[in-house]
Amino acid sequence: MRVLVTGGNGFLGSHLVQGLKRRGDWVRVLALTGTDRSSVQGVADDIVEGNVCKLETLLPAMEGIEVVFHLAAVVIDWGPESLFQAVNVGGTRNVLQAAVEAGCRRLVHMSSLAVHKYRPVWEGDEEWPCDAVSPAYATTKRDAEEVVRSFSKDLETVIIRPGLFPYGPGDRHNIAQILDAIRQRSFGYIDGGEAPFCVSYVDNLVSGLALAGEHPEAVGETFVLCDDETLTWKSFSKASARHLGVKPPWLSFPFLLLFPLVALWEGVYKLLSIRTAPLLTLYRLRVARTPLVFSNQKAKRMLGYEPTVSLEEGLQRTLDWYKEERSVEFSGNLGKDH
């Protein structure tokens, strides 16, 4: 197929580009103007610059495209609501409109489990209520799903929700920062770090996305593409610390003590219009102490989705990449941390 990946030069996007190329697809990447394209340079068949907030930049990128994978989004948990609205909602609408005008056949939209209000979930599925009320990232991803559904008469649409966080080699934001904190002994738990959650190893997620882009039964559906195994913050950090040769985290803070302090902290930041995120937010606090386990059974049943990379292997690959990525700092601290 001839496909377009918006945000294709990001962590997930670049892995998807590689996976689609291995499958034999012709792949074009839409990269935000001014962003680094080295991750897909020489891999993608075509790279065009554009901005999902500007419809006129999207129309040329859609020319000759059959399937669009829409990954471009603002995925942080702090920032002005106007930014999230412009990119996550308005940008999604623009991508859909451009796809319809260009005659594309299908659009696969990357959503998030954040569309659900965070409460304990042990066996969630695609029918779980989409009732997120904060932060702006969560509410705009929720609203973006509605925008996607509104185009279902004009376009084959598929909505994907990965595990709580996708991870793997090349993730220089989420996983690398968590591992930095573990290695530097600044990582702590909320309520002991015992809450289980589901994740998506990037190669497993890519295989599911590829299926969603071609399977006839995917049309009009929403799928959770998480791995089979779950983990806890404690099990993850202990395994990571062991691999990195450092002592595992031991600090733990009670949620009920931190909640009012973090709420006050957020209030001050908002009152003073501070754009940088606080060290800890209510969103991160809830994520760190809430069981969030969802099922991938629908994707297995309808798409033949099968996460082939185990949790152990996925963590091993990620940690090996991290050690190489942080080679200077790691080699300097390894002896001291033993």
Token code pair at residue 167: 């991870």
Token code pair at residue 131: 């009732």
Tens of pLDDT along 174-231?
899 999 999 999 999 999 999 999 999 999 999 999 999 999 999 999 999 999 999 9
pLDDT at 331 over 50: no
Q: What are phi and psi of 27, to 5 degrees?
A: -125, 125
- Which conformational region is residue 104 in: left (phi greater than 0), alpha (psi within -120 to 50 degrees), or beta? beta
pLDDT for res 139 = 97
pLDDT at 328 over 80: no
CA distance 129 to 186: 35
Q: What are phi and psi of 230, to 5 degrees?
A: -115, 165
pLDDT for res 279 = 86
Tens of pLDDT along 10-56?
999 999 999 999 999 999 999 998 999 999 999 999 999 999 999 99
Confidence tier at 326 by pLDDT (50, 70, 90) = confident
Outline where DSSP puts E strands in the chain. 2-6, 26-32, 46-50, 67-70, 106-110, 121-124, 156-162, 165-167, 189-190, 196-201, 222-225, 230-232, 252-253, 292-294
Q: What are phi and psi of 300, to 5 degrees?
A: -65, -45
pLDDT for res 327 = 76
Alpha-carbon Rg of the chain, whole angstroms? 20
180 close to 244: Cβ distance less than 8 angstroms: no
pLDDT for res 263 = 95
Q: Which of the residue ranges 237-251, 257-271, 316-330 would you say has the lowest mean pLDDT?
A: 316-330
Confidence tier at 232 by pLDDT (50, 70, 90) = very high
pLDDT for res 288 = 93
Residues in the chain: 338
pLDDT for res 165 = 85
pLDDT for res 333 = 42
pLDDT for res 93 = 98
CA distance 198 to 166: 9
Show the domains of the chain with their CATH numbers: 2-164+201-226+294-309 (3.40.50.720)
pLDDT for res 337 = 35
* Mean pLDDT within 285-292: 94
Q: What is the mean pLDDT of the chain?
A: 94
Q: 50 has which bridge partners?
A: 32
Q: Which residues of 27-37 are buried (b: 16+ CB within 10 A; e: fewer)?
A: bbbbbbeeeeb
pTM recorded for the entire structure: 0.94
Token code pair at residue 126: 């695609």
pLDDT for res 61 = 97
30 close to 71: Cβ distance less than 8 angstroms: no
Q: Which residue would you say has higher pLDDT here, 113 or 279? A: 113
CA distance 129 to 202: 26
Tell me the three state secondary structure of residue 291.
coil
pLDDT for res 143 = 98
CA distance 26 to 102: 17
